[in-house]
Structure formats: structure tokens, C-alpha cells
Amino acid sequence: MSETSGVKILGFAGSAREGSFNKAIVRVALQGAAAAGAETSFVDLRDHPLPLYDGDLETAKGLPESAVTLGELFRNSDGFLIASPEYNGFLSPLLKNTLDWLSRSAEASPDLSAYQGKTAAIMAASPGPLGGLRGLRSVRELLTNLGMTVVTNQITVRGAWKAFDESGKLVEADQASRIEALGAELADTTARLLGRS
């Protein structure tokens, strides 16, 4: 049995766009985690819309249904593969808003149980020459602030509009291999932190 057997890795992207390059690279990374023996799943944040975080709204109506559903998914996961598009050198508003909502509890108080003690690997795809590199700094900082262990390695895909073929697969096999390796690394790191290796 693989040392990573039973490790649960959840992948998602901070993009709602149907043809998102960031969703595509998360799926590749999940293949690497699965090949390493982890149990993997993907969640599309587009399927779980959330209003802009508002404390008054939270007090009046409690947690939105999507926040409850996503919170359960997060708490039942050991690690996360996360991709975020870059918005003006920063992480995406969708990713930030989702993580903010999931840091709340039904009692309208802070609750970091969805994050603390968990692991993450981060990546980005962008049409630009840096591949979303600048935005990953803020992603790493936020996840660390939430109590997560973020692996050192990260992936960026530059010129994303030409990095994928018509079927949505990466054109360069070496690039796909590196992304898969990141997924495998997260699975291994998570297993070690959970004391399974």
C-alpha cells in the first residue's frame, strides 16, 4: 500500500471562467497526486457562488449554503492544490472571498478549522510573461496566515493562451510532468506531516 494512501487532496482554482487555464493546471496536478496514491477530488468554485463577504449579511442570515458545503469539503481534506489567476499582481477576488467566507463559523466567529494543520501547493497560469508569479506571493502569504503549510515549490505557466491545445491539454509534455510532480510532492508532504511515511 502506498504511504500516501488515504491522504485526501482537494483541487480548485480561483477562477470562475469555464475555459480557465488555472482549472486546467489544477486537474493536471491532481493527476500527479492520484498517481502518487492520494485520494483526489476537484471542486469548481463557479458551482458554489458566494456573495462578497459582509459582516452584516453574515449576522443577519448566517453562513451562505455554499460556504457550509465548501467548508465541509475543506475540513474533510488533508491538503489542497490551488491555482489562482493574477489580478493586477495579486490573487483573484474569487479565491480571496471564498477563503474569507470559509474562515467563519455558524456562530459568526472566526474558525480556521478548514485550514489549520493542512497543506497546500500553489500554481498559476497567465497569458503574461511571468505566468502569474506575482500573484502567488499573496496566495502563499494568505494561506500561511490561515495556518497552512505551503510547499516551497510552485508552478507558473506563461503565455497560457498558447500553452494548451484545442482540447485543453498542455502542449509541452515537460511542463505537464512538472505540474504532475508538484501534485505528487504535495501528496508525499501531506503524508509525512500526518505521520504516514
Per-residue model confidence as pLDDT tens digits over 87-106: 999 999 999 999 999 999 88
> What is the predicted pLDDT for the residue at 60?
94
pLDDT digits (tens, 9 = 90+) for 172-186: 888 889 999 999 999
Judged against a pLDDT cut of 70, whether residue 1 lies above it is answered with no
pLDDT in tens, 28-60: 999 999 999 999 999 999 999 999 999 999 999
CATH fit for domain 8-193, picks 1.10.1040.10, 3.40.50.360, 3.40.50.300, 3.30.420.10: 3.40.50.360
The whole-angstrom separation of Cα 2 and Cα 14 is 30
113: DSSP letter: T
CA-based R_g, the chain, Å: 16
**How many Å apart are CA 156 and CA 31, to the nearest integer?**
17
Percent of the chain with pLDDT over 70: 98
Report CA dihedral (168, 72, 98, 148) to the nearest 10 degrees.
-90
Contacts 24+ apart (CB under 8 A), 163-170: 163/21, 163/125, 164/21, 164/24, 168/19, 168/24, 170/24, 170/25, 170/28
- Residue 101 DSSP SS3: helix
| Residues 119-147 pLDDT 10s | 999 999 988 777 789 999 999 999 999 99
Report the distance separating Cα 21 and Cα 179, nearest Å: 13
Confidence of residue 85 (pLDDT cuts 50, 70, 90): very high
Residue 3 gets which letter from DSSP?
Answer: T
